[in-house]
Amino acid sequence: MIRLFVGLGNPGTEYEATRHNAGFWWLDALASAWGARMAPERAYQGLVARVARPGVDGPVWLLEPMTYMNRSGVSVAGLARFFKIAPAQILVVHDELDLLPGQAKLKLGGSAAGHNGLKDIHAMLGTQDFWRLRLGIGHPGEKAEVPNYVLKKPSAEHREAIAKASEQSLKAVDAMLAGQMDRALQIVHAQPPRPKPPRREPAAAAAAPAATPPADDPTP
């Protein structure tokens, strides 16, 4: 089961609407849904909420590291070790260049693929075996453009697509809390239903042939 939900981003108003803060957006939505208040905790260098959930044995933690992205692991490992939360009980939510806006993928382990937040969490935990929820933000097309791209605001269309992907993935949280990660994967990766094809109008009935007038019809 997931006991620690982590959203990655950068602190400060200048970053709050940028693509790199998609993890913060997701965690804020979860905290709002649960009625949880995120509060600063100096010991863990982040905003933290401790939540009791029905049917869950023990507290569930929400965390937004306030260390800047490349030092996220300091915050995550600090809280996880103090409360004896295993890496496999951690979900890290982050922006993903290799997915389009509107896409989301859930996975256990794997490389950081150049993401500095994931790199530091891996280094501080000493393992890659934690869960990740990857929220697509798209790619600028050129590697050299990535630093500026992730620190800029997405278009309104892309922001809406990211929000919809987050909304879908939030439906998997109950399964995560129950330890049903296969079920969570199905929910996160569910594709929207295909639109039904347009209804065909029935073909017009063939015109009936004119009746043959009777032999004694007086019409000329």
CATH number at residue 172: 3.40.50.1470
Is residue 23 situated within a structural domain? yes
Is residue 211 situated within a structural domain? no
113-155 confidence digits (pLDDT tens): 889 999 999 999 999 999 999 999 999 999 999 999 999 999 9
Is residue 193 situated within a structural domain? no
What one-letter code names the amino acid at 63? L
The whole-chain average pLDDT of the chain stands at: 90
Is residue 43 situated within a structural domain? yes
25-49 confidence digits (pLDDT tens): 999 999 999 999 999 999 999 999 9
The residue segments making up the domain with residue 136 are 4-181
Is residue 205 situated within a structural domain? no
Is residue 175 situated within a structural domain? yes
Catalytic entry in 20, 94, 115, 122: 20
Is residue 54 situated within a structural domain? yes
Question: What is the pTM assigned to this prediction?
Answer: 0.86
pLDDT at 201: 59
131 and 2 in contact (C-beta within 8 Å)?
yes
How many structural domains comprise the chain? 1
C-alpha dihedral (72, 76, 78, 79), degrees to nearest 10? 150
Is residue 210 situated within a structural domain? no
189 is catalytic: no
